[in-house]
Chain A
Amino acid sequence: MEITFVFVVHYMIEERQSSSGKVVFHNEKLGHKYLALKKPVAQLKAASALNRILVLCDNTLTLLNMFDLEPILSGAKVKGVTCFCLNETPSRGSPFSVEICVALKKKQLQYYTATEDRLIHVKDISLSEPAVSLGVDGSYICVATTSQYCMVNYESGHMQDLFPFDSETSKPLIRRISKEEFLLSGPSALGMFVTSAGISQRPPLQWSENLMGVSYIHPYIIAVNDEFITIHSILDQQQKQAIPFQGGSFIGNFDGKMFVASQKEIYSLVPVAWEKQVQSLLADKRVSEALDLARNANRVGLSKDKFSKVFRRFEQQAAFIEFSQQHFEEARELFKEGQVDVREVLSLYPRLLPSNCNFTRSVPLLHEIADVNQLSRGDETVMKEYRNFLRLYLEEIRGTKDAVGYKQEIDVGLLKLYAEVNSPELVPLIAVDTGCDLKDCVDWLEKYERHHALALLYKVHKENDKALAVWMRLINGDIKDENFLGLDFVAEFLANLSDHELVWKYVDSILVKDAQLGVRVFTERPAKEPPSERLRPEAVIDYLHRFPEAVITYLEHLVFQKKLEKEKYHTHLAVLYLDAVLQLMKENNVKKEHLDIARSKLRHILQMSNLYRVQLILGKVKQTDMYAECAILYGKLEEHDKALRILVHKLKDYGAAETYCLVNSQGKDPSVRKRLFHILLSVYLDPSYEQRDSLVQPAVTLLNSNLSEFDTVKVIQSIPENWSVSLLSQFLMRTARKSMNSCRNIRIERMMSRGENLQVTQNSIEMQRNYVTMNDDRMCAMCNRAFGDTSFVRYPNGVVTHVHCAKNKHVCPVTGKLFSTKQS
């Protein structure tokens, strides 16, 4: 027969850190107690709050004093116990008691509250089978019976079966993981996570067979069998480590300290600091695992700020690892999340940082990458991907808070990248709020022959002379750049350039190439540009002398757009128009419409302007058969008879004659219009004109026209005797009707005026009928003083004041009432 001696031994274990940083343990035996029992201790648990130890031995649960190991003999004892479990997280715990769940041999659980000297029975829970193992958290008890696991709420008594399990073939293990979550050893060596609701929120983990014990220290599950200690992470359920360990029989987490026991010895498992774990995962390029671990490290031993600093550094390191492996999406996220200094990234690309940037990589180094050439090993496609990545990354952070302080570095970097591939983004980058300096960008743009961009960069930096010089070379074809927008662009630029010296310097080459375009430099000046001596119209006209077309355009601009009222410009323009017409007339084979256009331009200015020298033009026009122009000129000289004679006799354009009367009387006294029409009529009726019969019809038409105005009496007097009444009937009837109409209108007006007069008189009488009593008691409504004078003011609402107190006769000074200001 085997004889068992049962001892409980008390050791003091002290953890020390040696000078080399290694953790060493020092232990000292403080005492032991021999228990006079025949069976080994099945379970032992300290209840520190009570200074007691709970011992399960020979199916009996008893209490020992924690220090002298003496049994507590006050009846604190439960018999028939197969196992027990301390509730470390009671739902309503008292600091002077602990709660214990006990499994009995008969199919029952019991719940106790333990005090220093007593076990107080709280509740019984019946089971269908005897329990073999227990776990408790809050109000929930997770029980392994002989054939299955179930979850019991000991307060409500609710019971839920979880899954079947054969306790014969493997040992049931139950470990509390977090609030209301347990880890159970399931069939096929699976570690099953179960919540108090009876469901799982994490996938199972795969253990090895024959586990003896399992423990948990965040975020690791540590399990022991007789050969190995295995470590799984609850973050991804994967095995992280296996330590050979012969004969493991017990493992436990004692207030954060891990102890593991073989049959003979007890060891402590000391976790590597999480920072070191993360660092070594990073060294293995296991980026997502490393960051997951860091994120879930629960900031062991660090303040929030410090942790986020440490974590950010890990992210930065991780970013460069992903970067070096061409995991661009991940790298981009991490660069951003880790707030990596953008220069760290730029410095990996040779020559992309601005040359004046004295950046050095942060120490300790975040990575061991020399540059992207090293990473791509000369592979062109990889290199392209790296450059593409940088471009997208810079574009993304440009203008965000990550870019604060590094605008120049980012913009110069982008400029260089764009220039290399001739990106359409290059021009907008330079044109809109750029951080690019001139220094090395100029060399770079010249190297890649992005001349237009270079000129724009000069422009942005106000080096307009250099910019124009580049553009001139582009215009002249000395250099080429497909992005250059051509002559128009430069003309527009000059038109808006405030430096007039430069305008003069470069406008000539544009005029030589295209006079019409060149003149736009002068005509399309900004509206708000102040007048300058260098761009005086006279100077411009003199200068444009070589380009006749340009002169005309410029004068048109002065006369029509700017509406400058200077005789010189108007005359000059009229003369130029006239010369053009005369030139066309001299030439043969000129298309009629060209000539018509030229003449209508001439007529337009002759008609529209009143400033040119009429005699000068008339002198030239008279020598030709340009009668229409002649008529306009005579009109300007108020020689209407001559003008109308030309229109009637020479041109036979009776409509034009009528229009002439209207146009020349526009905006003048109505009598002028009548006079002009009479002149026209007299031209028609002129007895000295040999073809006067042909003018009878137009004369009648004129008389009948709705637009013409005549003095009827004068017309009748001037009509030749021989005209029949029927010829004039329409005119006469209309005139009669018109005068009837005006006669009636006047009568209506007269009667209405009389009515109005009566009304006013009535109002006046009514107003004056009221009397105002003035005596010594009457005071001014404004100043409240007596009236010393005979005159006073009375408002329509009866308020009486001094004359000098009545500031405004339309506003009552007391009530503020507004009286009609209408004169009635």
Chain B
Amino acid sequence: MMAETKRKADLKVIILGDYNVGKTSFVCRYIDGTFQTKEPTIGAAFFLKQWGPYNIAVWDTAGDERYTGLSNFYCRNAGAAILAFDMTSVSSFESLWARFIPLLDSALENCIKVVVGMKLDLLDSDRTREITIEEATKFSREINSNIDISHLPKDPYFETSSLKGSNVTEVFEYIFNHCVPLTDAEKRVAGNTGIVDLSKPVNDGAKDKKKCC
């Protein structure tokens, strides 16, 4: 891992949000493609993602209030911030404004702030939505006054479920396409993830071989 971290990242993405809104699960869903409930993060955790020719550093911060001082430090030079809240908790949404927006002073000037509602799957069951889509969308527009949001394909607000994996990849690709857009050629390479599927037969090429005689 050290060799990787030593390479300078082309984009720093920071994930902020209240304690237990599901920030680490969200990142793990994106990186590993699985859902895991996580121990509380200590300080911060770090992931590297390859996006075409770019190295992207994803910093997952601890939501616990005692680490707030450090979060400010981890926000430094961030090109994008994911502001996560729990859609079933008003206080987690209010914290974004009260606690986390000020931290982003140390981020890059053109830092894009994407508001992400977590635990969409809970709304399907008995839990009630505490924050309306309109409220969250309005908020997401307000905090991005530093950039020209008219060029974005949509408002910087997403509702996601790490449990089901819905909308998770979309959030990251929304950010990457804004900050480090790929050319068509690079996209093709990025699409080829280099994953070899062991269960898939790999004999396609062999069929072209001539039969005997």
Contact = CB atoms under 8 A, between A and B. Distances in A.
Contacts of B44: 200, 203-204
Given A235-B1, A295-B3, A428-B206, A199 B67 contact: no
B5 A190 contact: no
Nearest to A165: B69
A199 B77 contact: yes
Interface stretch (A316-324, A474-482, A489-497, A577-585): A489-497
B77 A197 contact: yes
A456 B206 CA distance: 17
B210 A163 contact: no
Given A395-B202, A431-B212, A200 B42 contact: no
Contacts of B42: 188, 190, 204, 206
Given A200-B74, A392-B198, A456 B212 contact: yes
B212 A202 contact: no
Nearest to B64: A188
B2 A489 contact: no
A292 B1 contact: yes
A234 interface: yes
Given A163-B70, A206-B43, A329-B196, A201 B213 contact: no
Give chain B's interface secondary structure class: mixed
B151 interface: no
B154 interface: no
A203 B70 contact: no
Interface residues of B, number: 33
Nearest to B77: A199
Contact of A198 (B45, B59, B76, B202): B76
A388 B201 CA distance: 11
Interface in A373-392: 388-389, 392
Contacts of B6: 201
Interface string B1-17: 11101100100100000
A428 B44 CA distance: 54
Interface string B47-77: 0000000000101000000110110111011
Contact of A203 (B3, B12, B43, B73): B43
Give chain A's interface secondary structure class: mixed
A640 to B, nearest CB: 52
A199 B73 CA distance: 7
A328 B206 CA distance: 23
Contact of B43 (A194, A198, A204, A329): A204
Nearest to A186: B70
A463 to B, nearest CB: 14
Interface of A: 162-165, 186-188, 190, 192, 194, 197-204, 206, 219, 234-236, 292, 295-296, 328-329, 388-389, 392, 395, 424-425, 427-428, 430-432, 456, 459, 489, 492-493, 496
Interface of B: 1-3, 5-6, 9, 12, 42-46, 57, 59, 66-67, 69-70, 72-74, 76-77, 196, 198, 202-203, 206, 209-213
Interface pairs A-B: 8 shortest CB-CB? A204-B43, A431-B212, A163-B73, A203-B46, A164-B69, A190-B43, A428-B209, A199-B76
Given A192-B43, A427-B211, 15 more contacts: A163-B70, A164-B69, A186-B43, A202-B2, A203-B46, A204-B43, A204-B44, A204-B70, A235-B2, A428-B206, A430-B212, A431-B210, A431-B212, A489-B213, A493-B213
22 contacts: A187-B66, A187-B69, A188-B67, A190-B43, A190-B70, A198-B76, A199-B76, A199-B77, A200-B73, A201-B6, A202-B2, A202-B46, A204-B42, A204-B44, A206-B43, A219-B2, A235-B1, A296-B2, A296-B3, A388-B198, A395-B203, A430-B212
